[in-house]
Amino acid sequence: MARLTSEVKTYITQALACFDSPSQVAEAVKKEFGITVSRQQCESHDPTKVTSKGLGKKWADLFYETRERFKGETENIAVANRAYRLRVLGRIAVKAEDMRNLALAMQALEQAAKEMGDAYVNRRLDQPGRPPGGDAGGADPADITADEYVLRPDEDAPANPIL
């Protein structure tokens, strides 16, 4: 087992707190510091694991502080923002079309449409206590909230199209 400096221990602890696997951390330590550490030695710096029973309070506190900060900073991660994802999908679609890869362009456009249609958002439009897709045709407009979508019958459609 390699003797680790405080700097390397800090690096390992913070990487594990950011949900990196012990294998990923061991590889990163080798690249960053030129030190070979085992997965087990990395895992011993994770206070959520059984193998860390001898871990000092300083390192456990650092782990939990880093974990809380990491979980709270998702808005700073570019991929977590819808606008960024749409820009990337737009670039992919344009590049794929330029390469005459229409299948990839269509996949990127479909992905963007799903992104805009909230296909990846866990929202519930039905009110609690009402069955999903309940009787929306007879709903009183005063009872409808901004989050609800009401499909009206065809009688509300004008007889002549409005152009």
Per-residue pLDDT at 96: 94
In whole angstroms, what is the distance from residue 64 CA to residue 113 CA?
38
Reduced to 3 states (helix: H, G, I; strand: E, B; else coil), residue 5 is: coil
Examine the pLDDT at 159 and tell me if it is beyond 50: yes
Q: What is the mean pLDDT of residues 17-31?
A: 91
Per-residue pLDDT at 36: 92
Per-residue pLDDT at 76: 76
Q: What is the mean pLDDT of residues 119-142?
A: 54
Which of 89-98, 117-126, 142-151 has the highest average model confidence (pLDDT)?
Answer: 89-98
Please give the biggest Cα pair distance in the chain. 82
pLDDT per residue as tens digits for the range 36-66: 999 999 999 988 888 888 888 899 999 999 9
Which residues are within 8 A (CB) of 19 and not within 5 positions of it... i.e. 6 or more apart?
A: 70
Per-residue pLDDT at 136: 46
In whole angstroms, what is the distance from residue 1 CA to residue 23 CA?
16
Tell which wins on pLDDT, 101 or 159: 101
Per-residue pLDDT at 80: 77
User: Using an 8 Å Cβ cutoff, are 75 and 84 in contact?
Assistant: no
The Cβ of residue 18 has, within 10 Å, a number of other Cβ atoms equal to: 14
Tell which wins on pLDDT, 118 or 114: 114
Residue type, 51: T
Examine the pLDDT at 107 and tell me if it is beyond 90: yes
In whole angstroms, what is the distance from residue 58 CA to residue 6 CA?
11
pLDDT per residue as tens digits for the range 147-157: 555 656 665 66
In whole angstroms, what is the distance from residue 119 CA to residue 142 CA?
28
Per-residue pLDDT at 119: 66
pLDDT per residue as tens digits for the range 59-98: 999 999 998 888 888 777 777 788 888 899 999 999 999 9
In whole angstroms, what is the distance from residue 111 CA to residue 144 CA?
30
